[in-house]
Structures are given as C-alpha cells and as structure tokens.
Structure 1
Amino acid sequence: MSTFSTAITGLKAYQTALGVIGNNIANANTTGYKASRAQFSDLLVQTLEGASAPTGTTGGTDPLQIGAGVIVGGVLNIMTQGAIEPTGRSSDIAVQGEGFYVLSSGESQIYTRVGTFELDANGNLVDSGTGFKVQGINGDISIPLGSNAATPTTQVELAGNLDANAADDPLTLTVDESALDTSFFIIDSLGGKHSLNVTFSLPGSANTGVWDYSVEAASGAGMTGTMVGGASGTSGQITFGSGGSILSISGPGAASGSFFFDPQNAAGSGGPGQEFNINFDALTGFAAFSNVAMKQQDGVPPGALSSFNIGSDGKVNGIFSNGLVLEQDTLKLATFSNPAGLLRLANGQFVETPNSGVAQFGTAGTGGRGTIVAGALEQSNVDLGTELVNLIIAQRGYEANAKTISVANEIQQTTLNLLR
C-alpha cells in the first residue's frame, strides 16, 4: 500500500524538522548564532487520470492525482539581527547592522558575526575559539606588544603674562621684580627628559614693553645636557604693544628661528644638537602679576602597550603607557547579496558559496554595513517561544504520520482476515 511509504516520508520530514528545532533551542544562548527553519515540499504526485476538456454535451473533468508524501525541501538560514548584550570586555565587539567579520584560517577566508576576539602571544588579533586571525584593511591585524619609540620634542608652547608695570623694588633685596625665571622640559630621541630654564628680564631700568629672554639647561644633580648656540643663539627679545599682545619677536623664538640642545648622550651624537622651537605667541604683556609656564610640548617618552580598543567605525587603536593612542588598523567587514546562502561551519562561522554571492569588503558604516559596538556581543536570534510552539507542531505532525501507518496496518490486517 502506498499509504505506508507516504506516511514514512512524513516521519522522516518531521524527524528532520525536530532536529532543526532542537538545534535552535540548544543554541538559544549561543553568541552570534543564526536560527534555521526546515522548509517542507510535497513529493511527486501520481496521476491516475488526466484532465478532460468540456464537450458540447458534458463538462470537463479535473485531473485525478494522489500525492507521494513530503520531503524537506531546504533548511533556511535566518540571518536577522540578534540582541546586543554588553560584556564589559573591550575586545568583545558586535556588529549593529549588516556585515560579517573576516577571519583568515591561513588557507581561506572565514566569515562570522561572533566578535569574541583577543590578542595572542604575538600580538595578533584572533578569534578566541579557533585562533583564526582577524582581518583589517591592511591584512592581519597586529598590535605591537613591546615599547614604541620615543618622539623627540620639536615644539614647546609657553603661556602666561609678563607684567607691564614690572620694576625692581630696591627694598626687596632678595627679589628682582623685573625678572622672571620659569622651567620646562623636552624629550630627546631616546626618550630622555631634560629640564630647561627660560629667564625673562627687562633690558633697562624702565619698562617699555620690551623683555629679553634667555634659555639655558638646568644644572644640578642628575641634570645633563647643554644649550647649543645655533645660528640664532639661545636668547632674544619680545616686544609687546599697547594692547598687551606681542608685536615682534627676535632671536631663536622668531618664526624662522630654532633652539638647539645637546642631551650629551647618544641622541645628540653626530650633529649640532636636538632642534626645537619655543612658541611665545600665547604670552601677554598686561599690567598684572608675571607668571609664565609651559602650556604643552609635543615630545613623548617610550611606552608599552597597556590596552587596545575598537571604535564604532572599526578603527583598532593601541593605548600605550605614555598616553599615546595609535591607530593600528581598521576592521574589514564583508557583505553578501544573499547572506542566507552562506555555508555554515562550526563556531558560528560561514564560508562563501555560489549562491551567497561574492563577498563585498569595506569598513563599518560604509556601503550599508553596520557599525561596531565595543564591549558587547551579539546574542542568538532564536525566539525561544516560537521554537517551543514549532516543537509542539512537529511533534503532532510526527504522531499523526505514525498514526497513519498504524491505521494502514489495521486496514491491511482486515483485508488479510477476509481470506480466512
């Protein structure tokens, strides 16, 4: 009897559906998991009698067909967005929107929505589950684990005021109100820190808005280095106007001048010394207390990597102990014409297939790609309530097909009993 074979196809189909549903339920809390759905299709039908056309005396008849059962026509990938859950771990990231991270297995490219990344012993950003290297626009993303080189000072900016009413008071024998000493530091190419002094003084007894300045290396225990008299020397003059702003600067502090410092170590060998500029433009000449200090300088000592972060645009930044934040690379994201056509692998990973389309690469926030959420992970997109309902439906379908076999067996037994 064909009833047996038809019912068996139903058992097989619902058994497959139960397997798909069970896998969804098992992965309800799996990071980055994408649910699946079994799609049923009817089998070939048996045509017992074809259709006939109407005649002048009778109407037409429909075809007489009997179905042969059901098959699982496909298992569809449901690629909808999962919920974003914060983890507090800076190397965990999630994509809000379209796109897959790109991993390299050494032989092929792998795609995933699971952003559980970490640095390996060589400083490579890798998938924590498989060790596959995370890809950036420049290839493997690598963050240096050692110390980064020092950046020597090239620019120092001073800010403050030089008193327009300054004059030496003869009653204060230990203090010269017509002069001001302040200090600042510079960094040499080896990362050494050197203290320098700058002295501002009036060139005469009357205050005419003109101040002399002179720069020299600080002396004392542990102090090294000397100022080198370059083409502009180590001293000059600043002239203030009636509004308290600078009218002119002469000497090495002028726009075309430079200071030279010999740190008396390997950083200063083979040359006239380390060249740097002092920017006096932020100084004022108001009738107020004299006070000048270093506002900023651009030198940076060497530093080791302390941590890293990934921005919403996918930029990977190394954070160093000297305060530097250096961009290392930018995450590469892939999009597909048909992401449901990707072939699943383990660990929430996929590979390209002819029906997924060719991967289109770009960065976060471009070409319809989503943005990066740092310190968070994308959760499974399984709707547990829907899956439990589907589980009941599949169970009932399986039981109904089993009942069909039972009834067909009873009918066959009844037929055999006619011969007794």
Structure 2
Amino acid sequence: MTNNTDICVIGAGRIGLPWAAVLADEGHTVTCVDVDEEIVDAIMAGDAPFEEPGLDELISRTVAEGQLTATTERSRVADANVVGVTLNAPADQIESYLDVLTGYCEHIDPDQTIINRTTLPVAITERTRVMIADGVGTEPANLDYVTFPERLAEGRAIEELRSLPKIVGTNNGRPHAVIDVLLEDLPGNPRYVDHETAAFIKLIDNAYRDARFAIANQFALAADRLGVDAHRAIALANDEYPRNDIPTPGTVGGKCLTKDPYFVTEEWVDDLPADLFSEARAANDAYADLVVNRVVELDPSSVVVLGRGFKRDVPDEVASPTIDIISDLERAGIDVESVEPLSIEPSERDAALKTAIPGSDAVILAVDHTYFRDRESMIRDLSDGLIVDLWGAFELGGRVERIGSGPLTRTESPPAND
C-alpha cells in the first residue's frame, strides 16, 4: 500500500462525490461509478453536478490533474485496490439497495478492501458484509470489510470531511492499514470500533438531532394552544441560563433526519414501552402541519413561499418539508408561488422577489436562508399582506407574525422586547 491508492467509489451523490474529490485532492487516484450519465458527464467536464461549497473547485482541479474520473461502467470496480460504497438506502428500499450492491459483486475481488459508507440499520450492516463475501467467494471473516459511516452536514461536506472525527468499524474493531493511509492527511483521528457500533453511532448522530429539534417544535405546538410566542419564550429560556440550549422551532427535513431515527425504532423499541424517536418525528411533522393549518385559516387566495430547500443556505429540495407545505396549501385551493434564491443566479434574486411578493395575500418565510435575513426590509416593503415567519428570523411588528403563538389573525404585533 502506498500513499497513492487506487479507489473506486460506487455512487457519485452527495456522500460519494465529495469524499471522492477530497481523496483525489489528497493524491489518490479515484474513479466514481454512477448509473446517471448526466452526473458522470458533469464530473468529466470538471463540474459539480449539485451545489456544495468548494466541490466545484475540487472537481475541476482533480479532473484536470487526472486524479479523479467518472464512468457508468461497473466493471471499473475491478481496477481499484479499494472499493467505496456510497449507494443510497432509503428505509423502504433496503432490499433494492442489497440487490444493486449484489450486481457489483461480480467485479469485486476477495483481495480488495470494501469500505461501506451507506447509512444502514445495524442488522443490515452484518447482512451486507455476509452478502458481499458470498458474492465474491470468501468467508465474511476473511473479507477486508470496513464500515465507515458518513457524518456530514450538507453544505459543509468538504469542510467536515477534513475536520470531523471519523468512526471506523472493522472486523476486529482495531486500526486498519488502508483506512490509516486514506485518512493520514485528514484531521480528525479515527475511532475504531466493531461494525455494529460504527453503524449505531451514525444513527445516534441523526436520531439525537431530530429529537432535539422535536423538543423545540413540541414547545411551539403547546405555545400555539396557549397563545404564547414560542420563539420568544425559548430565546429567553436560553438567555444566560447554562442548562438550556434549545434550538429554534422550525421545519425539519432532509434525507437523513427523516430516515435514520426510524432505523433505530424499527429495530429496537417496537416491543418496548417507549418509542421516543418515532414521537420526535411526529412532533417535527406536526410543526409543518401547524404551518399549513394556520395559513389556511387566513383564507388567502394567493401565497408566496420563500425558500424550498430543506434547511438554511442549502437549495436541495429532496425530503424538504417546504415542498409538502406547498402541496398542502395548493390542495386547499390556494395559489402558491415560491422563490428559492439559491437556485437562481445571484444577479436575478432580488428581481424574483420583486416580481413574486407584491399583491400576494401572505408571504411565508419557509426557509431562513441568509439571503432572506439580509433582505428583511425589502420583503417588508414589498409585502401588502401578512408575513408568516416560521423561524423567528424577522423582528415582530407591522405585519410579521410567527408560527407557534396562536391563530394568525393579528395585524399588529407587540415589539419583541416589550
């Protein structure tokens, strides 16, 4: 093994491609295999096929240097010393994931190192290892298999690949020579454990975050019944009080937080008296339902929704609760227009707001992008109707109201510091 390792990454999505680009930038020779020809063509043209800070520059440089390539040919898996698996495994499509991975086994050699970065239920982790071993004709104990869960936040993938601690599961729970080579130039010392513990830690990461957000949203649901401003109450509860660190209420989405908590509940607590993580998911979903119900009560004919991504400063609409909110409002007979500034050229963003907002009955700040926060005055000036703030991002007053403080019926709100 040398510092220049031949690596094949199966899947050039939001997990696989940033990892591949960082490895290529560290001097390894990396090939991405993906079934999507458009993604492959974009990579080979030196372009990132999706928005991720720093990724476009990395791809452009490493493709030009010959360190990174992409192909749709599965057989290229056979050319590498290391095979990384970053296939998507939705909760309701685990069998499909296993079938797709089985199709690659004919190109995998027992002497190759297999690194699985796909988030899986713990029980499926061992099943995957056994399946690959069977497919390549060796015993599971002899397969050089590594569980290396990704722990990245979309929008910070490159930064976090170079900084976060790495959890690594191996056959014996001990350091692994290949992983040590791949990570030697990346800060964040690896923590070596067994496969099951590595998979479980990834589920802990996201189930904990989802539950933490659910606490805030549960407070918002209760405050809404009581006519209390949940955003203001939480901010004051946190203020200089060392035992509180409660997040702001808001919608919760994305592929990981809407999936990983169920991987925990389905395997371990379905026969226990408590199911915290399913209840947390329900609280987060209920906040989005509350948004729809409160807006529908206003009986608007037209609404402008600001933002469509699943979180701040990320344009990705996959598993975005805002998309569901838009659909529900449209089903209620409301004319909905939306503006996602991160999907528009910067020079055209202000014009999009100036076109969409005037004349609408209500404006919903659905995603608190920095762009919207920086244009609070513009949005207030453009809007003739109510501004419904899901995040407490805008100052109360005038026509701005927040979700989580009762029906949206007021035209004037008291100042936030009264």
| Structure with greater proportional strand content | 1
The structure with more radius of gyration: 1
| Structure with greater proportional helix content | 2
TMscore range, shorter length:
under 0.3
TM-score by length of 2: 0.17
